[in-house]
């Protein structure tokens, strides 16, 4: 959409934003394709929902205007390093493992090589297109990690990416010359001789993505918030895989975004529901409270197993503990499949903070 056609949407945005921009208002959101909730006959304002976190592919003008008219802030989920659907046609972007082979899908997830310049340009253009079409309250980076699968109690943690481009950039960044040529032996040499530097370099690549996406966002819509969904493991979990495999350092991430959205999917991780509160207690100590807002996303989704309405209610309570100033739930499908969960959310949201 041409930006000159924004005026009607801008007026709606400003009128609603003036009511919800106060930082004391607790954010109460739904993640996924929340338009399905409206089509099922429900209204966000009646449910106590004041924010929607909508997948980029699901956002459309009709939903945008309906959500704004019901007092919702609109945040767009952006699938940053999800390579599925791209790498199949662009093999140079396929992540390469320590054996010199194309990494296999990690269950349903397929990542990408984060240093591929064409993929970087592809995602940058997608973000600009979204911002040219919609005046949003923020963009939340999703799939913000090197290729792996962490939404399970048995995570899949491959070593990537050892393509010539990645190892070449690593050599240049650290003024090194890896004394072997083939990919598998280069990978083994790095892990044996430069592992700490390699892990730090990978984190720097991830941080670079956050910085670049944030720059595009602020250049186009300076008042929009930059958020990040990220794996909510403790640093020592799975032998340090949060940093070593996924490439995530929470303290450095907090310096680069406006909002942290830890993915507190307790049942997927095989954790008790009170673990959510324990994680937030740790997070208070891990980041400077002035660095970023904290809006966790909690699980209502029945996979694996079942999350009862009572358990979902407990997750909302635990996930709202300090330092959280907002919360959202995953996903709208679970609400529509079990109206008792929708009632739990409605009761909690309507009683939680200012509307």
Domains and CATH numbers, the chain: 3-351 (3.20.20.80)
Cβ burial of 9 (10 Å; 0-12, 13-18, 19+) is middle
Give pLDDT, residue 7. 37
Beta strand extents in 118-252 (DSSP E only): 138-142, 225-231
The pTM of the full predicted model, rounded to 2 decimals, is 0.93
Q: Report the alpha-carbon distance of residue 351 to residue 355 in Å, rounded.
A: 9
Q: Report the alpha-carbon distance of residue 227 to residue 267 in Å, rounded.
A: 23
Does residue 114 contact residue 81 with C-beta atoms inside 8 Å? Answer: yes
Give pLDDT, residue 3. 52
Give pLDDT, residue 16. 42
Ordered mean pLDDT values, 10 residues apiece, the chain (355 residues):
44 42 80 98 98 97 98 98 98 98 97 98 98 98 98 97 98 96 97 98 98 98 98 98 98 97 98 98 89 96 94 98 97 96 98 67
φ, ψ for residue 341, nearest 5 deg: -70, -40
Report residue 84 as tokens: 């599925």
Give pLDDT, residue 23. 58
218 CB-near residues (< 8 Å, 6+ apart): 224, 226
CA contacts within 13 A on the Cβ side of 46: 7
């Amino acid at each position: 959409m041409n930006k000159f056609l924004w005026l009607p949407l801008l007026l709606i945005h400003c009128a609603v934003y003036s009511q919800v921009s106060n930082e004391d208002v607790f954010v109460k959101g739904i993640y996924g394709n929340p338009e399905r909730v409206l089509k099922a006959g429900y209204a966000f304002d009646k449910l106590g929902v004041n924010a929607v976190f909508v997948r980029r592919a699901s956002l459309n003008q009709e939903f945008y205007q309906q959500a704004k008219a019901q007092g919702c802030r609109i945040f767009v989920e952006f699938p940053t390093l999800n390579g599925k659907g791209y790498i199949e046609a662009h093999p140079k972007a396929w992540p390469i493992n320590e054996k010199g082979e194309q990494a296999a899908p990690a269950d349903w997830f397929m990542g990408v090589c984060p240093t591929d310049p064409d993929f970087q340009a592809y995602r940058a253009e997608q973000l600009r297109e979204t911002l040219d079409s919609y005046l949003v309250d923020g963009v939340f980076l999703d799939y913000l990690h090197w290729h792996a699968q962490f939404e399970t109690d048995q995570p899949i943690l491959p070593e990537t990416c050892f393509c010539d481009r990645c190892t070449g950039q690593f050599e240049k960044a650290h003024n090194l010359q890896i004394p072997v040529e083939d990919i598998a032996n280069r990978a083994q040499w790095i892990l044996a001789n430069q592992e700490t530097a390699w892990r730090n370099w990978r984190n720097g690549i991830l941080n670079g993505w956050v910085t670049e996406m944030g720059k595009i966002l602020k250049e186009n819509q300076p008042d929009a918030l930059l958020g990040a969904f990220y794996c909510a493991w403790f640093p020592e979990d799975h032998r340090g895989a949060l940093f070593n495999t996924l490439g995530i350092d929470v303290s450095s991430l907090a310096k680069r975004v406006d909002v942290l959205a830890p993915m507190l999917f307790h049942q997927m991780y095989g954790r008790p529901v009170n673990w959510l509160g324990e994680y937030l207690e740790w997070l208070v100590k891990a980041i400077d409270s002035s660095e970023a807002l904290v809006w966790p996303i909690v699980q209502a989704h029945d996979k694996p197993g079942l999350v009862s309405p009572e358990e979902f209610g407990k997750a909302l309570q635990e996930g709202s503990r300090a330092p959280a100033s907002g919360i959202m739930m995953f996903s709208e499908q679970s609400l529509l499949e079990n109206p008792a969960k929708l009632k739990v959310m409605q009761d909690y949201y309507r009683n939680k903070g200012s509307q």
